[in-house]
Amino acid sequence: MSDIIECNGKEACYNSTIRYSAQTTNFYDAIRCRGESSCEMATIRQDNYYTGCSGFKSCFAADFEGQAISCSGLQSCAEARIKASGDTVQTDRVSCTGKLSCTNIDEFDAANEAYLDGYFGAARSTIKANIVNIYGYKTLFLGTID
């Protein structure tokens, strides 16, 4: 298995299933969805590694289970299902920093920490986490912390 899975083209890994459990020592060598709608509607499973969604709608409506998830693109993880888990407090984190990046999420379980920033970054979402950091303009507009 590859140490890095990159979905960079438009709809490159659209509606696919990605399972990641490589034996790498670099936490950030994992799944990268950088293209427009590159991992849209994908099922992504990763243990103890990182998934990055930085393209426009790159992980829109995706189904995540894993340790650390970063949503930095415009609408990158909107309408997704997010269930983060892991064995270290330092890396059990979901980060939503893009505009509208984590909007309209009914199941958003960040395990340890949710870092929410960006214009309407997690609007209309229900957030579950031990630590919730909220920054940015109307980041949690009409949202809920459970």
> Model confidence over 64-116: pLDDT tens digits?
988 889 999 999 999 999 998 765 555 678 999 999 999 999 999 988 899 99
Q: What's the pLDDT at 84?
A: 85
Q: What's the pLDDT at 92?
A: 73
pLDDT at 142 over 90: yes
Tokens of 116: 């929410």
DSSP H helices, the chain, are none
SS3 label, residue 123: coil
**Which residues lie closer than 8 Å to 39 by C-beta, 6 or more apart?**
7, 12, 13, 14, 16, 18, 31, 33, 53, 58, 59, 62
pLDDT at 20 over 90: no
The reported pTM is 0.91
Question: Which helix (H) or strand (E) covers residue 61, if one does?
Answer: none
Q: What's the pLDDT at 47?
A: 76
Query: Would you tell me how many other CB atoms lie within 10 Å of the CB of residue 1?
Result: 9
Closest CA to 52 of 78, 39, 66, 70: 70
d(CA 22, CA 20): 6
